[in-house]
Chains A and B, each alone.
Chain A
């Protein structure tokens, strides 16, 4: 049993970056097609990754590298939590730690651009973290436990009772994927943040590590979304993929907005949806 679980986790840890990288490749291709361009090959993110691995390492500050490894490790840890069907609340905290590592990485350099990016990344964490916490509370209200394995035990999908929070989580997905209108701390493709936001000072192999962590991140987020429909799981995965495609669409039809707007919208819409949702669950189930 132990060995089987271990192998499964290992399989996911190897498979996740491959699927994540491919998703980013699909993202670039679809974005190009929406803009009337031909677009790069689907495996372009892997070319970028291996090229970056072969580049010179330039050290701006030694601490920076600790933080970028921290970002990767915490991201992998939260993915392991998801795969092991462990505690959802701890997963949210680990995700928060990963974000904080990225912020500290930005602050550990002297570049003002990286500082700007780190400030904005902090704002992004401020915008999405409460919504994820509310999701954890709502899951507790619904199932009476924070364990992901208990979600799998329910016959009725979470989506039926938690659909307002599902909308809020879709919103978090945009913030977390750093897509327009929330590509505030850094961004993808040829767009330019102030230079390159929080990743400005990372070059060569360390930038490759950032990409790797991002691939884990996208799988983790899509995994969280698929938790809304765990019986059978493939419906949840389909919902997650649909959410991903919706995200690409939104990315292409919107422009970047300001930090203040993001916080206001996320706190007003996300938090109100979440609180109403939790209140409704307790109202129908009765507070025990």
Chain B
């Protein structure tokens, strides 16, 4: 593994985007930053700027309004990038799947690399999902 590849695995910067989730999953993502889980020990930082991010953590089902925003954000993240769906909603549409304004899971709009099911997901599962995404990132 080269130096850059190695660094990629060691420093995943995260962009968290909430489509139209119930906020349950978002709270769990924030829980990952707390002292109990502290994802910064893996070098993960919650960025809030798509241009600096490597991993997109997406929660909630895509609806007609957020589809355009999501696509836009995805295009702004420089390559190499991976997308992680957090929660059942983001994976499939979940409990909202037959709402009149919901398109379904995130994979309806952008390509997804890792699905993390759960309602809401446990922080351990989120960290696990991100680590799986990193294994994929190392091969890119």
CB of B48 within 8 A of chain A? yes
CB of A50 within 8 A of chain B? yes
Given A40-B42, A51-B10, A58-B51, 13 other A-B residues pairs in contact with their CB atoms under 8 A: A37-B40, A44-B10, A49-B7, A51-B7, A54-B7, A55-B79, A56-B79, A58-B78, A190-B45, A192-B49, A195-B48, A196-B48, A203-B52
List, in ascending order, chain B residues with CB within 8 A of A195's CB: 48-49
List, in ascending order, chain A residues with CB within 8 A of B131's CB: none
A side interface size, CB within 8 A: 33
List, in ascending order, chain B residues with CB within 8 A of A39's CB: 38, 40-41
The A contact surface, by secondary structure, is loop
Interface residues of A (CB under 8 A from B): 28, 32, 35-41, 44, 46-51, 53-58, 189-190, 192, 195-196, 200-204, 207
Measured CB to CB, the closest approach of chain A to B16, in angstroms, equals 11
Contact B43 A190 (CB under 8 A): no
List, in ascending order, chain A residues with CB within 8 A of B10's CB: 41, 44, 47, 51
Contact B41 A51 (CB under 8 A): no
List, in ascending order, chain B residues with CB within 8 A of A201's CB: 51
Contact B78 A190 (CB under 8 A): no
A32 to B39, CA, bound (A): 11
CB of B8 within 8 A of chain A? yes
List, in ascending order, chain A residues with CB within 8 A of B46's CB: 190
Measured CB to CB, the closest approach of chain A to B40, in angstroms, equals 5
Contact A196 B35 (CB under 8 A): no
Contact A54 B8 (CB under 8 A): yes
Contact A50 B7 (CB under 8 A): yes
